[in-house]
Amino acid sequence: MKRADRSARRRLIEGLGATALGGVALANPLSVFASSEPRPPTPRQSLGPFYPVDWDGDADNDLVVVRGEAARALGQVAHVRGTVVDRHGRPLAGSIIEIWQCDAKGVYRHPRDRIGQRDPGFQGRGAVRAAADGGWAFRTIRPVPYPGRTPHIHFSVRAPDGGELVTQLYVAGEPGNAGDFLLNSIRDPRARERLIARFDPADRIETGALLAQFDIVVG
């Protein structure tokens, strides 16, 4: 990552509030209790070729609305929420959670992807700081297929204690899951299931939107 890119990313992180949930309240706030029984960690996945190089400008946790753009993102709105904890269930408050994904046209916000076709109303990447209970939330779109890949959202987590995790979230019931090389590189089906979430109707939160719960264990 170039020095200018690191600087922009640092400014973004420093600008995130203590909870930085961007006004999006958790549907069911979780009280996370520490457990002596270690939890299985969230499986790791590759960073991929399109990790964002530009964190300047609007890079908050609402990817559907871009400051300065008249139109909001194409695609179906999805609220993706969860907690980030360690293997004993202790909340990792203050962790920085980043996501990035392709837009509804299947194009990433990245200079090496198909320039000129991107949806300008989709933010493409976002970041948030986990709250005291480890809770975090994003407003984005339901992921769509990318050439050669089943629908997915990339995640990067950096905990205050220095722990890091890069992974991906997949959509339950997607036909492409069965043939996705990266998802199926996880041989243990129970571990694989920890990266798959249901995207259920959530009209109570926002008309026509979906809600997915994705709890992350760093360890």
The domain ranges of the chain are: 3-218
pLDDT tens sequence across 105-149: 999 999 999 877 899 999 999 999 999 999 999 999 999 999 999
pLDDT tens sequence across 178-193: 999 999 999 999 999 9
pTM of the model: 0.86
What per-residue confidence (pLDDT) applies to 116? 72
pLDDT tens sequence across 7-20: 555 555 556 653 44
Residue 18: strand, helix, or coil: coil
DSSP per residue, 39-67: PPPPPP----TT--S---S--SSB-S--T
Q: Which structure tokens are listed for 193?
A: 């299931």
What per-residue confidence (pLDDT) applies to 20? 44
Domain 3-218 has CATH 2.60.40.4070: no
Helices (H) and strands (E) in the chain, counts: 2, 10
Region of residue 20 (left: phi > 0; alpha: psi -120 to 50; beta: else): left
pLDDT tens sequence across 30-76: 444 455 689 999 999 999 999 999 999 999 999 999 998 988 999 99
For residue 153, the surrounding DSSP H or E stretch is: strand 152-158
